[in-house]
Chain A
């Protein structure tokens, strides 16, 4: 079954710790995206990558970092510099020529 997996589903961390969220896809998509979702604010783009070894900042990249060493993987690190890291994080991908993005199931991060 082709799709996007995000792990873990729920993640808890103490303030000041870095944490890495996993995103893997077996759809052979070139483009991958990370979004942050907060209640009542829709989805905001953190980072995106259109090809392996290349990525670009989105609208709210401060306090986050990514890597794209493999086509199928696009991990997101939430650093201690992110002031309000508690949120629902969604990973998405898009195939070449497609118009729409496909989303993973999300990771809910809680930082206390």
Chain B
């Protein structure tokens, strides 16, 4: 079975400060990992993904995440928060491989950016 834990359901940062959203996963086989962003009453938008290769992954809007196998983590970071980053962020995991593989989502972290 696979699972995702997002530490902190709410995170507040000041505008211009570092954003760090934590994600730990468990998977019995090599995983694919994703971060999605959701603005109020909207669908999810893919921020970035890790499949294979480079463990530091860059995404849209200045976000990046690093896959650390030894720590089973995939934390999301952004050097300088912007007001427009206020949203809910979801980490997700699926098993690598072909065919149908279920995606398991974390419970989300709401990011508040304080002016």
Instruction: Please report the total number of B residues contacting A with Cβ < 8 Å.
Output: 21
Cβ of A103 < 8 Å from any Cβ of B?
yes
B90 / chain A contacts, CB cutoff of 8 Å: 42-43
Q: In whole angstroms, what is the CA distance A105 to B105 when docked?
A: 17
Q: Is B49 a contact of A99 with CB atoms below 8 Å?
A: yes
Which residue of chain A has the shortest Cβ distance to B32 in the bound complex?
Answer: A99
Given the interface pairs A90-B44, A104-B43, A106-B41, the reply to whether A42 lies near B32 with Cβ below 8 Å is no
Q: Is A106 a contact of B49 with CB atoms below 8 Å?
A: no
Q: Is B43 a contact of A100 with CB atoms below 8 Å?
A: no
Interface string of A75-100 (1 = CB under 8 A from B): 00000000000001010100000011
Cβ of B107 < 8 Å from any Cβ of A?
yes
Q: Is A50 a contact of B41 with CB atoms below 8 Å?
A: no
Instruction: Please report the total number of A residues contacting B with Cβ < 8 Å.
Output: 24
Q: Is A50 a contact of B100 with CB atoms below 8 Å?
A: yes
Q: Is A106 a contact of B42 with CB atoms below 8 Å?
A: yes
Q: Is B34 a contact of A106 with CB atoms below 8 Å?
A: no
B residues contacting A by CB (< 8 A) are 9, 32, 34, 36, 41-46, 49, 51, 90, 94, 100, 102-103, 105-108
**Can you report 14 A-B residue pairs in the complex whose CB atoms are below 8 A from each other?**
A9-B41, A40-B107, A42-B90, A42-B106, A45-B102, A90-B43, A90-B44, A92-B44, A99-B49, A99-B94, A100-B49, A101-B103, A103-B45, A104-B43
